[in-house]
Structure 1
Amino acid sequence: MNFRIGNVKLDGNIVLGPMAGVTDLPFRMLCKEQGADLVYTEMVSAKGIQFNNKNTENLLYINEEERPAALQLFGSDPDILSETAKRIEERNFDILDINMGCPVPKVVNNGEGSALMKNPKLIGEIVRKVSSAIKKPVTVKIRKGFSEDNINTIEVAKIAEENGAAAVAVHARTREQYYSGKADWSIIRAVKEAVSIPVIGSGDVFSPEDAKQMIEQTNCDAIMLARGTRGNPWLFAQIKAYLEKGVLIPKPAFQEVKEMILRHAALSVDYKGLYTGIREMRKHVAWYTTGYPGSAKLRNRVNEINSMEDLEQLLEEYQNFIEK
C-alpha cells in the first residue's frame, strides 16, 4: 500500500522509527534493504546544529540509497527550530519530523521531547513556524499524553494538523510509562478518526501478527517499528510477507544472523572508524543474539572485542557452540 506524506510518495507503509543510539546510517541501510519504506534518523538537537556541533554533523548525514528518509529534530524554541529547518533544508532528507515524544529526563527537563505535550499552544506555534519556513513536509511524533491525568493526543494532533503538519506519528504510551506497560492502541484509532492527515501508529509491534492487529484495530495509515527491530532488521520483510501474502517467514538461521552482524559491523567501522564503530556494535551483537543458548556469556565477551577479527572469531566460536 503506497501513501503520501505531503508531496513525498512512499512505496509502502512500514516505517523505521527514530531511536537515539540505534538508527544511525549503518542500521538504517540494513532496514532499508529489508523493506523499510521510510527511515528516520536519530533525533538531532536544533541547538546543536545552530552551534555547529561536530557530533551533530554526523547525525545529519543521509545516504542517497536510504531515501526516502525523515530527519528528526528536537527542541522547544519555535524560532530556533524554524531557523534550523531553513538552514538544513537543502540536505538529503525528504521529511522533517519534530520530536514531541522523547521521555528521557535530560530532554524533558529542558522542556523538549514529550514535555511539549504539556503545552499544546507551543506545539501549534512550533509546527506553524517550521512548516512556513521550509517547503519539505513537516511531521510530528507525539505520545498519548504526558501522564494518565493529561491525555491530550487528539487535541495535540488536531493542533498540529491545523498548523501545517503533513502527518502525525502516535506512540500509544504516556511519557510516565516510558516503554513499560502496554501501548494503548485505541488512542491511535481515536487520532485517526479525528484528523485527515496520515496517522502513523507506534508501540508494541514486535511481530508480523502485531502489525496486522495494529492496522485492523486502529485503521492507521502506516506502522512505525522501533524496539522490535533492534537485532532484527528482518522484521520489515517478515511483516510485508505476512500482510501481502499471509506468509510467516521463519526467524533466520544463525549463519544468516552472523553474516548480518558482520555486515552491520563493517558498515559501522566504515562510517565511524574502527574505535567507535566496533564499540557501538557491542550492544547490537547483544540484541542480535538475544534468545540463543549461552547468549549471556557471549554478551560478556563481546564487550572485550576491539577489531573485526575479534568479532569474527567470537561469532565463529559461538556458532560452533550452538550448532554442536
Structure 2
Amino acid sequence: MKIGPFQLSSQLLAAPMAGVTDRPFRKLCRDFGAGLATSEMISSDPSLKNSRKSTLRRITAKDNELEPVSIQIAGTDPQAMAQAAAYNVDQGAQIIDINMGCPAKKVCNKLAGSALMKDEALVADILKAVKAAVDVPVTLKIRTGWDRQNKNALNIARIAEAEGIAMLAVHGRTREDLYKGEAEYDTITEIKRSISIPLVANGDINSPKKAAEVLKKTGADGLMIGRAAQGKPWIFQQINHYLENNTLLAEPAPEHIHQLMTQHLEGLYHHYGEVMGPRIARKHVGWYLAEQPFGSEVRRHFNQLQTTEAQQLLLTNFFQALAAQQLAPWINSLERS
C-alpha cells in the first residue's frame, strides 16, 4: 500500500492511541512488521505546543524514527490545524494524520475528534487548510458516524477524496458506540466501493484469521491494529505471516516475552525518565501479563514499585519462577513480603 510517495513495507498499520503509541511502543510495532506507526495525537492548540505532553509526543528528525514518520494532529480550527501541520513537518513529520475518530469525552467536548463528523462543512475546511499548508501526504482517521442514526462516514470519505487526502482509515463503530459491542464492516465495505484513495479498516482486528476475514469482506487496502497490539506487539508479525502463508505462527515463548518486556521498559525509562518511566510502564506490563498465569497478582505487586531496578527484578523473578514451574510458591512469598 502506498501513501503518497511512500510504499509501506506492510499493509498493517499501528493505530495512533493516546497514552499508548509513544516512541518505544511504535518501535516495537515497526520491529514486528507494522508498515506504519503514527504518533499519539498532538493538540493543534498553539498554547500547548511546548507542553511536556506535546514535546514527548512530537517526533523530530533527530529521533531516528523509522520512515515514513507520521504525526497525528487534533483540533477544530482550520488555521490552527494548518499551523500545527506545518510546524510538525518542519520538525520532521513526513505524513500528517488528522484525528476525526477519537471518541473520548475530553476530546469530543471540545468538538474535536469524532465530534467533527457532525459538521461536514468544517471537516472540508480543515482538510483543505491542512492540505494547503504542507507538501507531505495528509491522511484522515474517522468513525462510521456520530451515532447509529447518523452514519455519514461515506460523505466524509468523499469529501476527503475531493480534498486530496492520501489515505483514509475508518473505525467500524460510531462515536456513541465508543468501544462497546462489535465493530461493523458494512460501512467500510461501502466506502471502499465508492472512493479510489487507499482505505484502511480498523476495529476489533485481533487475530490473524480475523484480519484475513476483514480484508476479504471490505476489500480494504490495509488494516489498522489498535488495542489488540497492547501487550502483544508481535500480532503484526503473526498477521503478516498468516496473510502471506495461510499458516499460524506460535505464540512467543515466555523467555522471548520477558526479553521483549525488558526492551520495552528500558525504552520507556529512557523516554520518560526514571520518575515517570516506571509509572508509564505499569499499564504496559499489565497488558503483557494479562494472559500469563498469576498475571493479576504480579501486576498488583508491580504497580507498587517505584524504581526501574525493582520493576525489572520483579519481572526477572516472575519469569524464572515460571520457567521452574514454581509460580505458586513464588507468589505466596510475594504475598507474605
| Contact 2:46/2:80, CA 8 A, preserved across alignment | no
| Contact 1:144/1:152, CA 8 A, preserved across alignment | yes
Q: 1:129-180 CA deviation, whole Å, 9 max, x = no partner?
A: 1101110011110001010110001001101111121111000000111111
- Cα deviation, residue 89, structure 1: 1.6
| Contact 1:67/1:93, CA 8 A, preserved across alignment | no
Alignment match, 1:299: 299
- Cα deviation, residue 48, structure 1: 4.8
**Structure 2 residue 278 is matched with structure 1 residue 278:** yes
Measure, in 2, the Cα distance between the counterparts of 1:188 and 1:48.
34
Name the stretch that deviates more: 21-30 or 269-278: 269-278
Q: 1:16-71 CA deviation, whole Å, 9 max, x = no partner?
A: 01001000000101111111111110000010576432321221125334221310
Measure, in 2, the Cα distance between the counterparts of 1:51 and 1:231.
30
Name the stretch that deviates more: 180-189 or 84-93: 84-93
| Contact 2:185/2:214, CA 8 A, preserved across alignment | yes
Q: How does 1:240-319 map to 2 (within 5 A)?
A: 240-319=240-319
Change (3 A) 1:110 1:321: same
**Structure 2 residue 25 is matched with structure 1 residue 27:** yes
Q: Say which SS state the counterpart of residue 89 (structure 1) adopts.
A: helix
Change (3 A) 1:317 1:48: farther
Q: 1:261-298 CA deviation, whole Å, 9 max, x = no partner?
A: 11101111111111111110111011001122211111
Measure, in 1, the Cα distance between the counterparts of 2:250 and 2:31.
18
| Contact 1:49/1:84, CA 8 A, preserved across alignment | no
| Contact 2:21/2:38, CA 8 A, preserved across alignment | yes
The residue type equivalent to 2:288 in the other structure is: Y
Measure, in 1, the Cα distance between the counterparts of 2:88 and 2:69.
14
Q: Which runs of 5+ in 1 are unaligned?
A: none
The residue type equivalent to 1:234 in the other structure is: W
Alignment match, 2:3: 5
Q: Say which SS state the counterpart of residue 164 (structure 1) adopts.
A: coil
Which consecutive segments of 4 or more residues in structure 1 shift more than 3 A?
48-51, 320-323
Alignment match, 1:18: 16
| Contact 2:17/2:41, CA 8 A, preserved across alignment | yes
The residue type equivalent to 2:221 in the other structure is: D
Measure, in 2, the Cα distance between the counterparts of 1:215 and 1:320.
40
Q: Say which SS state the counterpart of residue 168 (structure 1) adopts.
A: strand
Cα RMSD, aligned residues only? 1.3
Alignment match, 1:162: 162
Q: Say which SS state the counterpart of residue 144 (structure 2) adopts.
A: strand
Change (3 A) 1:320 1:50: closer
Q: Which runs of 5+ in 2 are unaligned?
A: 326-337
TM-score, length-normalised on structure 1? 0.96
Measure, in 1, the Cα distance between the counterparts of 2:137 and 2:282.
36
Larger radius of gyration: 2
| Contact 1:48/1:56, CA 8 A, preserved across alignment | no
Change (3 A) 1:157 1:49: farther
Change (3 A) 1:314 1:51: closer
| Contact 2:13/2:35, CA 8 A, preserved across alignment | yes
Q: Say which SS state the counterpart of residue 71 (structure 2) adopts.
A: strand
The residue type equivalent to 1:279 in the other structure is: R
Q: Say which SS state the counterpart of residue 45 (structure 2) adopts.
A: helix
Measure, in 2, the Cα distance between the counterparts of 1:28 and 1:13.
16
| Contact 2:10/2:35, CA 8 A, preserved across alignment | yes
Q: Say which SS state the counterpart of residue 322 (structure 1) adopts.
A: helix
